Amino acid sequence: MLSRIRITGFRSLKNVDIETGPLTVLYGHTAGGKSSFLYAPLVLKNFLINPDQPFEGLSNLGFINLGNFEKCVYGGEKDGKI
């Protein structure tokens, strides 16, 4: 079981460090980063399976395409919002 998840600079998540337990519940307002928190490990999995693929391949999770590099990196958009 994962006991801690740390995500830095992914989509709307600037710096997140969460200790997990047997049951971890994510809640919060709309556009608060809950989905980004769940997508980050899937992008990591895509990288570990095939590290030589272009970034667009890493961010295509099959059920959703997270977009290009600028859309997936915190602050990548010109207005600083993802």
pLDDT tens by residue, 34-44: 999 999 999 99
**Residue 77 burial (C-beta neighbours within 10 Å; 0-12, 13-18, 19+):** exposed
**Residue 10: per-residue pLDDT:** 92
**Residue 82: per-residue pLDDT:** 42
Query: Could you tell me the CA-to-CA distances from 26 to 19, 23, 55 in Å, in that order?
Result: 12, 10, 27
CA nearest to 43, candidates 63, 14, 20, 22:
63
Instruction: Indicate whether this model's pTM tops 0.85.
Output: no
| Ranges in the chain, pLDDT < 50 | 80-82
Q: Any residues with CB less than 8 A from the CB of 57 and at least 6 apart, and which?
A: 46, 50
